[in-house]
Structure 1
Amino acid sequence: MQQMSKGANIDLSSLTAATGPLTVALSWIDPSGEGEADVSVLLAGSDGKVGSDGDFVFYNQPTTADESVRLLGKSPTATGSEDRILVDLGALRPDVQRVVIAASRYAGATFGALDELCLTISDSTGAELLAFPIKEADRETAFIFGELYRRDDSWKFRAVGQGYASGLAGLAADFGISVDDSEEEQPEPAPAQPAEPPPTDGPDAIADHAAPEVSPTGGKRPQRVRTAKKKVTAPKAAKVSLAEHPSWQHARLFPVTGLRNDQEREARATATLLAVMAQVPEFGRRLTARFNAPAGTIQTFAEASFKHGDGKVRPDGVVRVARAGRIWTALIETKTGGNPLKADQVEAYLQVAARHGYETVITLSNDLALSNEHPLQVDKRLLRKVALRHLSWAEVAHEADMLCHHDGVANPVHAWLLSELLHYLRQDNAGCQGFRDMGAAWVPVRNAITAGTLRLGDRRAMQVAESWEKLIRQLCLRLSGQTGLTIAPVLRKRRDGDASVRRLQTVTSLVETGRMSAEIRIPNAGGPVLLEADLRTGQIETTVEIPAAARARSLTRVQWLLRQLDQAPPELRIEALTAGHNTGPCDLLKNLIAEPGLLVPDDGGQITSFRLTLASSMGTKRGIEETGFVRSIDLAMDRFYQEILLVLKPDTTQ
Structure 2
Amino acid sequence: MKGANVALRDLDAELGSVTVVLESGGTSDLPVAADASVLLLAADGRARSDDDLVFYNQPVALGGAIHLREKVRSDAADDSGEDASADIITLELDDVPDDVDRIVLAASIDPGSDATFGDATVLSMRLQRTADAQDVLSFPVEGASRETALLFGEFYRRNGEWRVRAIGQGYEHGLAALIADHGIAVQDDSSSTMTDPPEAGTEPVGAVEAIPADDAGDEAAGDSASVPGPAAQTAQRRLSVRRPARAPRMPADWNATIPADDVTDWQRARLFPVAGIGGGEEQERRATSALLAVMSLVRDFGRALTARCGAPAGMVETFIEVPFGHDEEAYRPDGVIRVTRGQRMWQALVEAKTATGQLRADQVESYLGIAKDKGYDAVVTISNELAGAEDSPVSVDRRKLKKVKLIHLSWDQIRTQAVLLTRHHGVADPTQRRVLDEFVRYMSHPKSGLHGFTDMGPRWVGVRDAVKARTLRSGDRNAAEVSGRFDQLVEHVALRLSALLGVEVQSLPPRNAPDAATRCQQLADSGLLFGTLRVPGAVDVLVLSADLRAERVACSIQLDAPRDGRPLTRVNWLLRQLPVGARDSLRVEAALAGGRGASTAALVGALRKKPEQLLPADGREIRAFRVVMEAPIGSRRSSVPGGLIKSVQDLTNSFYAEVVQNLSPWNARPPRVPAQ
TM-score range, shorter chain: 0.5 to 0.7
Q: How do residues 241-320 of structure 1 correspond to structure 2 at under 5 angstroms?
A: 245=263, 252-306=270-324, 312-320=330-338
| C-alpha deviation, 1:520, in angstroms | 2.8
Assess, with a 3 A threshold, how the Cα gap between structure 1 residues 299 and 649 changes in structure 2: closer, same or farther: same
For residue 659 of structure 2, give the secondary structure of its aligned residue in structure 1: helix
Bigger shift: 550-559 or 441-450? 550-559
The aligned counterpart of 1:571 is 585
Name the structure 2 match of 1:210.
Answer: 193
Q: 1:210–1:383: structure 2 CA closer, same or farther, 3 Å change rule? A: closer
Contact kept, 8 Å, 1:336 with 1:365, in 2: the verdict is yes
Contact 1:572 1:614 in 2 (8 A): yes
Q: CA–CA distance in 2 between the matches of 1:575 and 1:186? A: 34
What is the distance in 2 between the residues matched to 1:285 and 1:440? 37
> Which position in structure 1 is the counterpart of 2:442?
424
Superposition pairs of residues 439-518 of structure 1, within 5 angstroms: 439-489=457-507, 502-518=515-531
Whose radius of gyration is greater, 1 or 2? Answer: 2
Q: In the alignment, which residue of structure 1 is the partner of 2:150?
A: none
Partner residue of 1:358 out of 371, 376, 381: 376
SS of residue paired to 2:351: strand
CA drift of 1:446 comes to 0.8
How far 1:264 moved relative to its partner?
Answer: 2.5
Structure-2 change in CA distance of 1:302 and 1:444 (3 Å): same
TM-score, normalised relative to structure 1: 0.59
1:399 maps to amino acid? Q
Alignment partners' CA distance in 2, 1:574 and 1:469: 26
Per the alignment, residue 415 of structure 2 pairs with 397
C-alpha displacement of 1:536: 0.8
Question: d(CA) in 2 for partners of 1:607 and 1:247?
Answer: 61
Local SS of the residue matching 1:436: coil
Q: More deviation in 355-364 or 279-288?
A: 355-364
1:627, distance to aligned residue in structure 2 (A): 2.4
Deviation at 1:532, TM superposition (A): 1.2
For 1:523, which of 516, 519, 536 is the aligned residue?
536
Q: Are 2:630 and 1:615 aligned?
A: yes
Offset at 1:548? 3.8
1:605 deviation in Å? 4.2
- Opposite residue 579 of structure 1, the aligned amino acid is A
User: Residues 14-413 of structure 1 correspond to what in structure 2 (within 5 A)?
Assistant: 187=111, 206=189, 208=191, 210=193, 245=263, 252-306=270-324, 312-370=330-388, 373-378=391-396, 383=401, 386-413=404-431
Aligned-pair Cα RMSD in Å? 4.0
Contact 1:398 1:477 in 2 (8 A): yes
Say if 1:206 and 1:224, in contact at 8 Å, map to a contact too.
no
Contact 2:490 2:532 in 1 (8 A): no
Matching residue's letter, 1:585: T
Indicate if the aligned counterparts of 2:57 and 2:241 stay in contact, CA closer than 8 A: no
- 8 Å contact 2:510–2:543 — kept in the other structure? no
2:589, 2:307 → 1: CA distance? 47
2:622 equivalent to 1:639: no
Query: What is the distance in 2 between the residues matched to 1:226 and 1:545?
Result: 29
Question: Cα gap change, 1:360/1:224 in structure 2, threshold over 3 Å: closer, same or farther?
Answer: farther
Counterpart Cα distance in 2 of 1:570 and 1:610: 17
How much has 1:487 moved relative to structure 2? 3.1
Give the Å deviation of 1:410: 3.8
Q: Secondary structure at the match of 1:404?
A: helix
Distance 2:604 2:363 in 1: 56
C-alpha contact (below 8 Å) 1:184/1:205 kept by paired residues: no
- Alpha-carbon distance, 1:461 to partner: 0.7
From the superposition, tell whether residues 514 and 250 of structure 1 become closer, same or farther in structure 2 (CA, over 3 Å).
Answer: farther
Is the 1:208–1:226 Cα contact (8 Å) retained in structure 2?
Answer: no
- Structure 2 distance, partners of 1:226, 1:556, is 31
Quick check: 1:207–1:226 contact (8 Å CA) kept in 2? Answer: no
1:591 to 606, 620, 623: 606
Query: Quick check: 242-251 or 366-375, which moved more?
Result: 242-251
Whichever residue aligns with residue 581 of structure 2, its letter is: Q
Counterpart code for 1:576: A
Rounded Cα–Cα distance in structure 1 between residues aligned with 2:380 and 2:455: 22
**1:206: Cα distance to partner?**
1.0
Residues of 2 paired with 1:244 and 1:611: CA distance? 44
Q: Structure 2: how far apart are the matches of 1:468 and 1:653?
A: 38
Q: What count of residue pairs does the alignment treat as equivalent? A: 441
Distance change >3 Å, CA 247–CA 566, structure 1 → 2: farther
When normalised by structure 2's length, the TM-score is 0.57
Q: 1:552 to 1:420 in 2, by over 3 A?
A: same
* 1:462-490 deviation line (CA, Å, top 9, x unaligned): 11122222222333333234323443345
SS at match of 1:619: coil
Per-residue CA distance 1:263-305 (angstroms, 9 max, x = gap): 2221222122111110122221222233333332211122234
- 1:539 deviation in Å? 0.4
SS in 2 for 1:613: strand
Give the aligned partner of residue 71 of structure 1.
Answer: none
Q: Secondary structure, in 3 states, of the residue corresponding to 2:193?
A: coil
- Change in Cα spacing, 1:595 to 1:253, as seen in structure 2 (3 Å) is farther
- Aligned residues: percent identity? 38
Structure 2 residue corresponding to 1:542, chosen from 555, 559, 576: 555
Asked if the contact 2:188/2:194 (under 8 Å) is kept, the reply is no
Q: In 1, are the aligned partners of 2:335 and 2:351 still within 8 Å (CA)?
A: yes
Letter in 1 for 2:377: E
Change (3 A) 1:624 1:517: same
Partner deviation per Cα, 1:153-186 (whole Å, 9 max, x = no partner): xxxxxxxxxxxxxxxxxxxxxxxxxxxxxx9976
5+ residue gaps, structure 1, are 1-105, 109-182, 192-197, 199-203, 213-222, 228-235
Maintained 8 Å contact 1:208/1:225: no
Cα distance in structure 2, aligned partners of 1:612 and 1:186:
29
For residues 46-101 of structure 1, give each alpha carbon's deviation from its aligned partner in whole angstroms, at most 9, with x where no partner exists: xxxxxxxxxxxxxxxxxxxxxxxxxxxxxxxxxxxxxxxxxxxxxxxxxxxxxxxx
State the shift of 1:312 in Å: 4.3
Does residue 558 in structure 1 map to residue 576 in structure 2? no
Once residues 366 and 339 of structure 1 are traced to their aligned partners in structure 2, the CA distance between those partners, rounded to angstroms, is 8
Q: Deviations over 1:369-404 (max 9, x none)?
A: 245643323456655654433222222233323333
Per-residue deviation, 1:595: 3.0
Structure 1 pair 322/653, CA: closer, same or farther in 2 (3 Å)?
Answer: closer
**What's the secondary structure of 1:519's corresponding residue?**
strand
Distance 1:382 1:505 in 2: 30
Q: How big is the shift at 1:649?
A: 4.2
Instruction: Tell me the distance in 1 between the aligned counterparts of 2:282 and 2:583.
Output: 43
Q: Distance in 2 between matches of 1:225 and 1:351?
A: 52
> Cα gap change, 1:530/1:291 in structure 2, threshold over 3 Å: closer, same or farther?
closer
Comparing 371-380 with 581-590, greater Cα deviation is found at: 371-380
- 1:324-354 Cα distance to aligned partner (Å, 9 max, x none): 3454332211101221112343344345445
Q: Is the 8 A contact 2:589 2:626 kept in 1?
A: yes
